[in-house]
A and B are shown apart, each in its own frame.
Chain A
Amino acid sequence: MDITFENVTYIYQQNTPFAHKAIQDLSFHIESGSIVAIIGHTGSGKSTLIQHLNGLSVPTEGEVRIGEYRLSQEHKPKDMKELRSRVGVVFQYPEHQLFEETVAKDIAFGPQNFGVPEAVIKERIKDVIPAVGLSESVLERSPFDLSGGQMRRVAIAGVLAVKPDVLVLDEPTAGLDPRGQKEIMDMFYRLHNEQDLTTVLVTHSMEDALKYADRILILNKGTKFMEGTPEEVFSQKEALQSVQLDVPEMVQFLNRFEEKFGQQIPFRNQSVEEIAQMIQQIIKELNQDE
Chain B
Amino acid sequence: MRKKLVEFRNVSFRYGDEGPWVLKNCSFEIYENEWVAIIGHNGSGKSTIAKLLNGLLFPQEGEIIIDGKQVNEESIWNIRKEVGMVFQNPDNQFVGATVQDDVAFGMENRGVPREEMNKRISETLKAVRMQDYRLTEPHRLSGGQKQRVAIASVLAISPKVLILDEATAMLDPSGRKEIMETVGSIQDQRGLSLITITHDLQEVVQADRVIVMNNGELWKESTPREIFTQKEALRKIGLDVPFVAILTEELKHAGVHLGAAPLNHEELLEDLWTLHSRT
Chain A residues within CB distance 8 Å of chain B:
12-13, 18, 20, 39-43, 46-47, 92-93, 95, 145-150, 153, 170-171, 174-181, 204, 206, 241, 244-246, 249-250, 252-253, 256-257, 260-261, 272-273, 275-277, 279-280, 283, 286-287
Q: Is the CB of A175 within 8 A of B243?
A: no
Contacts A277-B254, A279-B251 aside, 14 further interface pairs with beta carbons under 8 A come to: A41-B172, A42-B142, A42-B148, A93-B91, A148-B47, A175-B42, A178-B239, A178-B240, A179-B240, A204-B171, A204-B176, A244-B175, A260-B269, A283-B256
Closest chain B residue to A137 by CB distance? B20
Chain B residues within CB distance 8 Å of chain A:
15, 40-43, 46-47, 88-89, 91, 136, 140-145, 148, 166, 169-176, 199, 201, 235, 238-240, 243-244, 246-247, 250-251, 253-256, 265, 268-269, 272-273, 275-276, 279
A244/B88 contact (C-beta < 8 A), A42-B148, A253-B243, A276-B247 known: no
For the complex formed, measure the closest distance between the CB of A215 and the CB atoms of chain B, giving whole angstroms: 19
Give every chain B residue within 8 A of A145 (Cβ-Cβ): 15
Give every chain B residue within 8 A of A180 (Cβ-Cβ): 41-42, 238
For the complex formed, measure the closest distance between the CB of A254 and the CB atoms of chain B, giving whole angstroms: 10
Closest chain A residue to B273 by CB distance? A260
Q: Is the CB of B170 within 8 A of A171?
A: yes
Which 6 A-B residue pairings sit nearest by Cβ, starting from the closest? A149-B42, A42-B144, A276-B250, A178-B240, A280-B254, A179-B238
The distance in angstroms between the C-alpha atoms of A283 and B258, with both chains bound, is: 13
Q: Is the CB of A93 within 8 A of B143?
A: yes
Q: Is the CB of B145 within 8 A of A42?
A: yes
A244/B199 contact (C-beta < 8 A), A148-B88, A253-B265, A280-B255 known: no
Q: Is the CB of A95 within 8 A of B91?
A: yes
The distance in angstroms between the C-alpha atoms of A287 and B274, with both chains bound, is: 12
Q: Is the CB of A178 within 8 A of B199?
A: yes
Closest chain B residue to A133 by CB distance? B42
Q: Is the CB of B173 within 8 A of A204?
A: yes
Q: Is the CB of A174 within 8 A of B89?
A: no
Q: Is the CB of B199 within 8 A of A252?
A: no
A177/B41 contact (C-beta < 8 A), A42-B145, A279-B251, A283-B275 known: yes
Contact partner of A12 (CB less than 8 A), chosen from B43, B140, B253, B275, is B140
Q: Is the CB of A280 within 8 A of B47?
A: no
For the complex formed, measure the closest distance between the CB of A194 and the CB atoms of chain B, giving whole angstroms: 25
A181/B148 contact (C-beta < 8 A), A149-B43, A280-B254 known: no
Give every chain A residue within 8 A of B43 (Cβ-Cβ): 146-147, 149-150
Q: Is the CB of A276 within 8 A of B256?
A: yes
The distance in angstroms between the C-alpha atoms of A277 and B251, with both chains bound, is: 7
The distance in angstroms between the C-alpha atoms of A286 and B256, with both chains bound, is: 14
Q: Is the CB of A272 within 8 A of B172?
A: no
Contact partner of A252 (CB less than 8 A), chosen from B239, B256, B265, is B265
A95/B42 contact (C-beta < 8 A), A43-B145, A253-B243, A253-B265 known: no
For the complex formed, measure the closest distance between the CB of A84 and the CB atoms of chain B, giving whole angstroms: 21
Q: Is the CB of A287 within 8 A of B235?
A: no
The distance in angstroms between the C-alpha atoms of A245 and B177, with both chains bound, is: 11
Q: Is the CB of A256 within 8 A of B269?
A: yes
Q: Is the CB of B142 within 8 A of A47?
A: yes
A-B contact pairs, 26 of them (CB 8 A): A18-B136, A18-B140, A20-B140, A41-B172, A42-B148, A42-B172, A43-B141, A93-B89, A95-B91, A149-B41, A149-B199, A174-B166, A177-B42, A177-B199, A178-B239, A180-B238, A181-B199, A206-B173, A245-B172, A246-B174, A249-B243, A253-B243, A272-B246, A279-B251, A279-B256, A280-B251
Give every chain A residue within 8 A of B256 (Cβ-Cβ): 276, 279-280, 283
For the complex formed, measure the closest distance between the CB of B6 and the CB atoms of chain A, giving whole angstroms: 21
